[in-house]
Chain A
């Protein structure tokens, strides 16, 4: 069993090695399209002069810094777009959580202050890219009663405002994020960061 897994590992690594050139081009085009849409929305002019200005500046930005937006490029673009939709669904769920957490803060602010039970907790996560950790930290902040203070390595230090909200700090949110970025975890053992 371990033999076959190892074999599969080398095979998929060979595929990964072969792909980057074509993928990099695709990613460049994708970043260019994103920037161009942004330009059109923000400028609001559709004449040839302004559009060509946009084309030139987007091209320069893509040429200089298109690799800032996506860290790992061995995924096909289809995977990225799927992740984008997953992220969008996650954000919708997040907005629901924000409403709940604001009602929680409103209740605490107007209610009895003796109900506050501040505490600082430790939370270990197993997410493997910076963006996912950033997303988890932001999600912890936006869910009811918890705020991330510090991230040291893979340990999150979380300030919880009461015992009840501290219970909400289980692995569920992390699993949601992992589900959105599921494709990053299939190959994660072979390509660290």
Chain B
């Protein structure tokens, strides 16, 4: 019971952050700020949801000799979450870079620096 509650808390928090990311993607003004929301929100919320699944697996765990396959499932889920921890920000760079190469213009207010624009003469 306690295990179910803990995993529900993890999954629920993950869903809240997913919702925040989705709202950010809709509301933010330009491509780059939207990618902020997408890249960060997805990383933490997938981590939380998958960790929640891993904790939920502990429910059926009674004795090591009978239930050891559960530990393998948990290890696999944790492996997936570590994989996401590395790949999700990398995917964000790929998106950002593709956006820049495709000349998606960043909305930058007067007085704020745009060093990449200065160095590459694109904007």
Contacts and interface: CB of A to CB of B under 8 A. Distances in A.
A44 B89 CA distance: 30
Contacts of B41: 102, 105-106
Contact of A148 (B85, B93, B107): B93
Chain A interface extent, by class: 35 or more
Contact of A44 (B37, B69, B112, B117): B69
B28 to A, nearest CB: 7
Contacts of A102: 17, 20, 40-41, 44-45
Contact of A118 (B27, B30, B96, B97): B30
A151 to B, nearest CB: 8
Interface stretch (A10-18, A72-80, A134-142, A171-179): A134-142
Given A117-B112, A118-B108, A161 B36 contact: yes
Given A147-B32, A149-B97, A106 B113 contact: no
Contacts of A109: 20-21, 23-24, 27-28, 37
Interface in B60-93: 69, 72, 75-76, 79, 82, 85-86, 89-90, 92-93
B93 A149 contact: yes
A147 B96 contact: yes
B93 A137 contact: yes
A82 interface: no
A180 to B, nearest CB: 15
B20 A105 contact: yes
Interface string A113-155: 1001111111000000000001001100110010111101001
A120 B92 CA distance: 16
A149 B75 contact: no
B91 to A, nearest CB: 10
A193 interface: no
Interface residues of B, number: 48
B33 interface: yes
Contacts of B24: 105-106, 108-109
Query: Which of B36, B37, B90, B117 gathers the greatest number of chain A CB atoms within 10 Å?
Result: B36
Nearest to A99: B44
B20 A44 contact: no
A42 B78 CA distance: 12
Interface of B: 16-17, 20-21, 23-24, 27-30, 32-33, 35-37, 39-41, 43-45, 47, 69, 72, 75-76, 79, 82, 85-86, 89-90, 92-93, 96-97, 100, 106-109, 112-117, 119
Given A116-B29, A149-B97, 18 more contacts: A41-B75, A98-B40, A102-B17, A105-B37, A106-B16, A109-B37, A110-B23, A113-B27, A118-B106, A122-B119, A141-B89, A148-B93, A149-B100, A150-B97, A150-B116, A152-B119, A159-B32, A159-B96
